[in-house]
Every structure is written in C-alpha cells, then in structure tokens.
Structure 1
Amino acid sequence: MNLLGIDIGRTSIKYGRVRLENGIEVMDFDQIPISQTSRYAGYRDALIHLLRTVPGFRAVGVGFPCVIRQNRVYSRDVDFDGIWSEVQAFLEPSGAPCFALNDADAAGMAEITRPEAGDLRRGATIVLTLGTGIGSAIFLDGKLLPNTELGRIELHGGLAEQYCAASVRTREGLSFEAWAGRLQEYLAEVDELFAPDHLVLGGGISADFEQYRAGLKTHADLRPAHYCNQAGVIGAAMFAAGRLQDGVG
C-alpha cells in the first residue's frame, strides 16, 4: 500500500510516496518552494498539483506547521484551515482519505516508531525539528503529547526559534561552531524545563550533526534524527496508515 506523505514547512513543501510494508521505503521524495508573497495561493496550488499528479496512493497524511484539533488547522499567519478544506474537497471524488497532524509530531512519530529505536520509547523523548523555525514533539513511553510548541520558549527576550533555528545560521552567516553555541543555550533550557531522557535533533541540518555536536552538551541522550529531512513525510504517511487501521476514512 502506497501512502502520500506531505510535510508543509514555512518556505517549502516536502513530499514522497511511502511504502511501510517490510521496512520503510520513500519514493519520489522532493520539495516545492513556496512563494512568500502569496502564501495561501502558493500552498494551495502546490498541494492540489501534488494530489493531481502523484500516482497510486491509498491515503494522504499532511503535516502542518501549526496546531491541529479535531481536523481543524489553527495557524497564526497563513489560513491553513481554508487550504485544508480545499484539499479535502479536491480528494473527495477520488475516495482517498486524508489526515492532518502537526508537522513536528509527524517527524517525531517516524523517529520513535523505528524498530531499532526502542530506547526512545522508554521514558521521556523530545524530538526537535530545526528548520525555518523550531518544531517539537514530546513522547512519554512512546505516547505523544500533541501540538507542543517548544520553539516559542523565550530566550534573550524573544522566541528561541528566532535565535537558533537552522534558518538563523544561514541568514546570519554563522559558522557551525557559533550556531552551536546558540543552540546549546536553547537545549540547556529544554533540558532544565523538561528533563528528558532523550533529545533527537531533526530537520535537514541533522545530516550535518558531526559538524556541531562537539558544541552541545545535555543531560539527556542527544542524537541526530535517523530520517533527517524525510522524517516529516514518513511520519505523515505513518499517521495516515494508523488512521486507516483504526477504520477512519
């Protein structure tokens, strides 16, 4: 069974067809940049294009960069709830069900359900996605506390994600060493507030973990995400598969 996983970020949409039987296989993984001048139309048109052109999927999982409650999408800037309604209406004639969740929750789901990651399913695990902002997913013994927003922790009088997200390193031209110093301040706050057993750093920058890990120290076991930039796509597909197994859709 092929599932379409979609991971909506603040500047792009990542997607891929995901097969979950006998291990995880991601096919046709790619991303679409989104214009920042007309974001509603950009996101909507990109999603409809994907749904129209990607072949052979049984269901769709979509990770949104905001809170999801009772199939409603709550966003501070883009009207993602309106876009979600248009996506559901577009798919209705095909009979392919679609399911929404928070994007960082999706990435976390992919990381902790990996068969080899049994230790992440014991105790408290926090997955942080480092991209344009900072997303978070908190798990206790493998069970998710949905819709957390740890990127909005206050740091130096502003939001932590405005100080040490991966996009900040690029925008300000910081070396990995300088950026790791900022990230360390943030991780120390997370460590102090939540005392997790495990901290997983995700997002595309997790592929460069060896270049900045020396500047990071936490009480928690610290590691990069296994699926790196594909975690959100895989987790969205997993969520859709789980909903189908529950008889939804």
Structure 2
Amino acid sequence: MTTSATTAVGIDIGGTGIKGALVDLQDGSLLTDRIKVPTPKGAEPEDVLGAVRTVLDTLEVTESDIPLGVAFPAIVKNGRTLSAANVSDAWIGFEAEEFFEDGLGRDIHFANDADVAGVAELRYGAARGEGGLVILTTLGTGIGSAMIYNGVLIPNSELGHLNRANHKRDAEAWTAYSAMERDKLDWEEWAARLQWYYSHVEFLFSPDLFVVGGGVSKHADKFLPLLDIGTRIVPAVHRNNAGIIGAAALALAGETRTTRDGAAEGLAEATTH
C-alpha cells in the first residue's frame, strides 16, 4: 500500500445496507457507481464478509494494490469492534480488522462509520478549512458522532448515547431521525427534541462547528433554522456517501489527520487503525 495513491475503495457497512465505490482522493468524488447490497439478516461476521466480497467483485476492484477502507457501525479500537449497532452481538470484542484482512486477502483500514463520515466532511465537505473543534452528527436510525480537533480525529465519541435526565431512553432513542418517524413528529416537534440534544452537546464541549449528516440533511432547511444555539450548525455535503468517501480517505495506512485546508497528513500513532 502506497501513500502516493490517488484512488481508494471505500466500503460502508450499515445495519441495513453495505455500500461501496472507488473514490478520487483528490476531491472526494466517486469514480464508479455506488454499489449497494443488503446487509445479510442477522449480520453475522461471515455473512457480512461475503457481502463485502460481492461489493468488491461488482466494482471490479479486487486488486490488493488499491487501498481499501472499511467503515463499521461500532466502537473500533485497535482493529477490534467493542459494540454492535444493528449487527450481530458476535461483533462485540471481535478482531474485526484482522478478520476482514484474512478474509479479503489484503490490508485494510478499519474505523467507526461516523468517524470516517467526519473525516469526509473535513477533507471534502462542510468542515473543510475549519479549525477548532468540529462535531459531526449523523441523524438516522441512531445518532453517530465524530469529533475532530484542529484536523485530528478523536475516535469513538459515541455522543448519541448521552442520557437525558429522568428519562429511560438515551439521546438517539429520543432524538434520531428514526424517532421522528416512529413517533410521527412534524418538523417543529422533532426540532424541539433536536434543540435539547444540540444545546446539551454544546454545553458539554463548546464546539466551533456542528455538521449534521445522514440522509435527512437534504431537508436541513426544514429543521436547522428552528434551532437556537450559539454554535454555527450546517448540513453535511456528502450525506449518505460520507462513509464511503471517508473510509477511502483513511485507506492509506496510519492516516487519520487532515490539515485545516483539507490536505492529508500521515499520523502513525493514536489512530483508529
């Protein structure tokens, strides 16, 4: 794997679908159609591996000299998955990076899905050129989060699991986009829940910028103007492609730093790899 590569493959594993594409690392654009296959029922490791193979075969990018990054919906530390969001509990405490490398016969870079989405927005999207603390949140089935300080990823923040006072459900159960659909909320009612969430995160971390991702970000004009917080808050640029783009961007070994103007720098230590 070479740091002079200008293209890489990103694979984004989710609870309902597994997506992938070849990505131009210069501008973050997709060089192929986005390939998506259903996440196998139960999302057991062997079945997920088979689905990832299908995506790579369809993309016709199985060559091991093309860098490959994989995003996964779990806490990822030293290549091990420590949680399981909408996938089998078999992933908890699982040597996932080694499993994929052995199963695919190639080196990969393996990281949390929200973390790589944050990197995609920092390098190629809404957070490009921003300093200080940027917090990306993805609003979907749950709430994913990525914290990046002056271009350095602080992995596995899991801000979707903040607890509400005197409430049995955590933040994502109350505030995620799925809660809006489940509880049949209109935009104003959902924004009231978002108001609590972003005000709470703002108080805890004093960020310089919030970036709101996930598919619902395409409707940002319907709910972001309803929020009253002191921190600037903007919709993500790459939405549901951010996981693919960010995984590809981190595919070069040991790379988790992005400079404030969006250019990549290598970082050998303190990574999610």
TM range (shorter): 0.7 to 0.9
Alignment partners' CA distance in 2, 1:74 and 1:64: 11
**Structure 1 segments of 4 or more deviating over 6 A?**
none
1:135 deviates by: 0.8
Equivalent residue, structure 2, for 1:46? 51
Alignment partners' CA distance in 2, 1:222 and 1:15: 28
Alignment partners' CA distance in 1, 2:143 and 2:17: 15
1:101 equivalent in alignment to 2:111: yes
Alignment partners' CA distance in 2, 1:187 and 1:146: 19
Q: Percent of pairs identical after alignment?
A: 35
1:146 deviates by: 0.8
Q: Deviations over 1:57-81 (max 9, x none)?
A: 6021111111111122222453333
Alignment partners' CA distance in 2, 1:89 and 1:216: 47
**2:114–2:146 Cα contact (<8 Å) kept:** yes
Alignment partners' CA distance in 1, 2:67 and 2:156: 22
1:39 deviates by: 2.1
Is the deviation greater in 26-35 or in 182-191? 26-35
Alignment partners' CA distance in 2, 1:247 and 1:172: 44
Alignment partners' CA distance in 2, 1:119 and 1:213: 22
Q: Deviations over 1:107-130 (max 9, x none)?
A: 00011123874442x111101111
1:31 deviates by: 2.9
Q: 1:12 to 1:118 in 2, by over 3 A?
A: closer
SS of structure 2 residue aligned to 1:219: coil
Alignment partners' CA distance in 2, 1:247 and 1:137: 18
Equivalent residue, structure 1, for 2:170? 159
1:16 equivalent in alignment to 2:21: yes
Alignment partners' CA distance in 2, 1:19 and 1:222: 27
Q: Deviations over 1:133-172 (max 9, x none)?
A: 1111111111111111100000233210011111222233
Q: 1:117 to 1:163 in 2, by over 3 A?
A: closer
1:55 deviates by: 1.3
1:98 deviates by: 1.0
Alignment partners' CA distance in 2, 1:50 and 1:116: 28
1:234 deviates by: 0.5
Q: Normalising to structure 2: TM-score of the pair? A: 0.80
CA RMSD, 1 decimal: 2.5
Alignment partners' CA distance in 2, 1:131 and 1:116: 19
Q: Where do 5+ consecutive residues of structure 2 fail to align? A: 1-5, 256-264, 269-273
**1:10–1:132 Cα contact (<8 Å) kept:** no
Higher strand share: 1
1:24 deviates by: 2.2
1:91 equivalent in alignment to 2:104: yes
Q: Deviations over 1:78-114 (max 9, x none)?
A: 333366444212221xxx4211011111000011123
SS of structure 2 residue aligned to 1:101: strand
Alignment partners' CA distance in 2, 1:240 and 1:50: 17
Q: Where do 5+ consecutive residues of structure 1 fail to align? A: none
Total equivalences in the alignment: 243
Q: Deviations over 1:166-211 (max 9, x none)?
A: 1222233322222111111111110111111101101111111011
Alignment partners' CA distance in 1, 2:119 and 2:17: 21
**2:125–2:237 Cα contact (<8 Å) kept:** no
Equivalent residue, structure 1, for 2:158? 149
Write the letter of the residue equivalent to 2:119.
M
Q: Normalising to structure 1: TM-score of the pair? A: 0.87
Equivalent residue, structure 2, for 1:217? 228
Write the letter of the residue equivalent to 1:149.
E
Structure 1 residues 154-233: aligned runs within 5 Å? 154-155=163-164, 156-233=167-244
